[in-house]
Amino acid sequence: MRPRRLERLIEAALLGAATVSVLTTAGIIVVLAVETFEFLREVPLVEFLTGTEWTPLFANPRFGVLPLVAGTLLVSAIAMVVALPMGLLSAIYLSEYAPDSVRRVVKPVLEVLAGVPTVVYGYFALLFVTPLLQRVFPQMSGFNALSPGIVMGIMILPLVSSLAEDAMRAVPRGLREGAYALGATRMETALQVVVPAAFSGITAAFILAISRAVGETMIVAIAAGQQPRLTGNPFVPLETMTAYIVQVSLGDTPQGTLEYRTIFAVGMLLFLMTFGLNLVSTWLRERFREEYS
């Protein structure tokens, strides 16, 4: 009788540990929601979401989040221009072309690229890539969206490559062999058969990459500047949502003030954006798995 009770107790304890992850999600939502609610009691939601000026730390504060959102989207878009085509090409190469000897070299290199701390990428963007780009674009400022965007793209490339490669490897061999039998070249098979067949898996990888770019912090905090600005110009300093949270966390803004609550409101918006993207990505991956199981 006693051992059986012990078994039950242990199972309950293990279940408790497993629910920590659910509690974490709940904790994130509660912490962000409470502070955001306090923030929205003083700043109307419409002003927050549609205002075009973000100057919460000034004497005459304005709380329009659009400049931060625009900064985030601009840097993310530049990162995607780099990461998506390069990631897809590298995935096609690794899945359809590469002999084992090449894979043995390339895979660890991609793993190392993915494992470099983001603060190191920030250093690289500010002190190596920006000076390099300034030779091509002399009008470019020392802080800008282009350099951190490109570096972020390189950082995200391994994620896109490995997820897209997984999706393509899951495509049944028979489809490829059918294409070869009809006389298609490797490229035709890859682009017209394998990529379309793995489409939802590849899209899931792309969406996860966007989510990573939107939430990336240190590269932009170091290399993009701290000037909220509603612009599409990649050469001037701007500020992203994440960089703003870092800026306030480093400063001496007293806790409990409206200025301080802004980081939770911005955090809430960031969480909702990335969480939405993650859900779509998970859903697409599940659908893809069903197609070929």
Partner 1 sequence: MRHRADLAFRVLALATLVLALVTLVALVMDVLADGAGRLDWQFLTSLASRRAEDAGIYHALAGSIWVIVLTAALALPLGVAAAVYLEEYGTNSRLARFIEINIANLAAVPSIIYGLLGLGLFVRAMGMGRSVMAGAATLALLALPVVILSTREALRTVPKSIREGSYALGATKWQTIWHQVLPMAFPGILTGLILSLSRAIGETAPLITIGALTYVPFAPDGVWSPFTVLPIQIFNWVSRPQAAFKENAAAGILVLMALLLAMNASAVFLRDRFQRQGRS
Site residues (CB under 8 A) for partner 1, limited to 160-179? none
When binding is defined by CB under 8 A, the residue of 37, 58, 97, 180 that contacts partner 1 is 97
Is 254 a binder of partner 1 (CB under 8 A)?
A: no
Helix (H/G/I), strand (E/B), else coil: 5:
helix
Separation CA 240–CA 260 (nearest Å): 17
Site for partner 1, residues 186 to 205, rule: CB under 8 A:
186-188, 190
- How many residues bind partner 1 (CB under 8 A)? The answer is 83
CA distance 135 to 39: 44
Judged by CB under 8 A, which stretch of 60-68, 110-118, 197-205, 228-236 contacts partner 1? 110-118
Nearer to partner 1, 64 or 87 (CB): 87
φ, ψ for residue 240, nearest 5 deg: -100, 170
Pick the binder of partner 1 from 2, 46, 100, 117 (CB under 8 A): 117
Residue 16 corresponds to which tokens in the numbers above? Answer: 């408790």
Q: Indicate the residue among 93 and 199 with the shorter CB distance to partner 1.
A: 93
| Binding of partner 1 by 218 (CB under 8 A) | yes
**Residue with tokens 């090449």, as numbered in its chain:** 102
CA proximity to 153, closest of 209, 76, 65, 82: 82
Q: Report in angstroms how near the CB of residue 222 gets to partner 1 at its nearest.
A: 6
Q: How far is the CB of 150 from partner 1 (least distance, A)?
A: 9
Unique residue bearing structure tokens 């990649």? 234
- Interaction of residue 57 with partner 1, rule CB under 8 A: no
Contacting partner 1 (CB under 8 A), which of 57, 196, 282, 287? 282
Using the rule CB under 8 A, which residue among 52, 109, 178, 257 binds partner 1?
Answer: 109
CB of 46 to partner 1, least distance (A): 24
Interaction of residue 49 with partner 1, rule CB under 8 A: no
Is residue 258 a contact residue for partner 1 (CB under 8 A)? no
Which ranges in the chain belong to alpha helices (H)?
2-42, 45-50, 66-92, 100-115, 118-124, 130-136, 146-169, 173-181, 186-189, 195-197, 199-215, 218-223, 241-250, 258-291
Residues with Cβ within 8 Å of residue 26, at least 6 apart in sequence: none
CA distance 196 to 181: 18
Binding-site member from 115, 138, 174, 254 for partner 1 (CB under 8 A):
115
Q: Which two tokens stand for residue 8?
A: 């039950």
Judged by CB under 8 A, does residue 10 bind partner 1? yes
C-alpha span between 52 and 59 (Å, rounded): 17
> Cβ 287 to partner 1, closest distance in Å?
14
By CB under 8 A, residue 63 contacts partner 1:
no
185 strand-pairing partners: none
Residue 44 or 108: the one with the smaller Cβ distance to partner 1 is 108
Shorter beta-carbon distance to partner 1: residue 21 or 293: 21
DSSP-based three-state secondary structure for 104: helix
What is the residue whose two structure tokens read 């909702």? Answer: 272
Applying the rule CB under 8 A, the residues between 126 and 165 that interact with partner 1 are 126-128, 154, 157-158
Nearest approach in angstroms of CB 255 to partner 1 is 8
